Amino acid sequence: MGNDNEKLVCLVVDDEQPAQWVLTSYISESEGLELAACAFDAEEAIGILKEKQIDLLFLDINLPGLSGMEMLDTLEFQPMVIFTTAYAAYAADSFEYNVVDYLVKPVTRQHFDRAVNRARDRARLHEVFHKPDEPGISGKVELNLGGSTEVVETKDILYLQSYGNYVKVFMEGRMILATTTTHQLLDQLPVRLFLRIHKSYIVNRAYVKAFSNNSVVLGNERLPIGISYRQSVLGALEKP
């Protein structure tokens, strides 16, 4: 990530000032994001990318001169990208660029937060394979059950499933319903062992028996891989 505070450094590229205002407002209200700059066209954005280390690019597709997609074709190094556009028809083509997400204007806060969470997951996955192991990580996690807590061994967790304001924690022969979110719980788990494969599922890599482009198999369970997670998940599972 771009700074010592572990924030994602962002660049907003949009030729419409109101659209920039919406995104910059959301970014300023997000604890894990930092706005580096805004640009009105691809040429200006390319100049900023040469001067600054950008982690996350909010990129409009319809820009004057080079389009957003054409701009990405010119980059030697592509940061994480969230496309923003008024046209839903570009969605299928956009994922050829390994984008994190695709937001249709007007961008709602809910959809913005969803996209940013996916970007954080991808950034975290990148760090897993580019940072040394942290010996201080605990092999146990404390689960809040509402009126009580239970400590479980992380190695015994098969997978997690988001369930509204709760998380289903699946282990051999039983399930615990914890009062937390998958993001909060993921932060407490060993990064080399647990992998988010879908907005609703996090798996323990040690229990993955097989996988395809669309799913992973753990024991008798087949869990889906989300389309926006596919490339990063397959890359992680193919590593030893």
Half-sphere exposure of 42 (CA within 13 A, CB side): 16
Domain 8-128 classification at class level = alpha beta
* CATH hierarchy code of domain 140-237: 2.40.50.1020
pLDDT in tens, 209-224: 888 888 999 878 899 9
Average pLDDT rounded to a whole number, residues 84-112: 82
Measure the CA–CA gap between 21 and 18, rounded to whole angstroms.
5
For residue 87, the model assigns a pLDDT of 78
Measure the CA–CA gap between 62 and 125, rounded to whole angstroms.
30
Residue spans of the domains in the chain: they are 8-128, 140-237
Instruction: Provide the sign of the torsion angle of the four alpha carbons 70, 71, 73, 78, taken in this order.
Output: negative
pLDDT in tens, 140-193: 888 988 889 899 998 899 999 999 889 999 998 899 999 988 888 888 888 778
Of 190 and 3, more confident: 190
Question: Dihedral of the CA atoms 53, 225, 236, 240 (nearest 10)?
Answer: 180
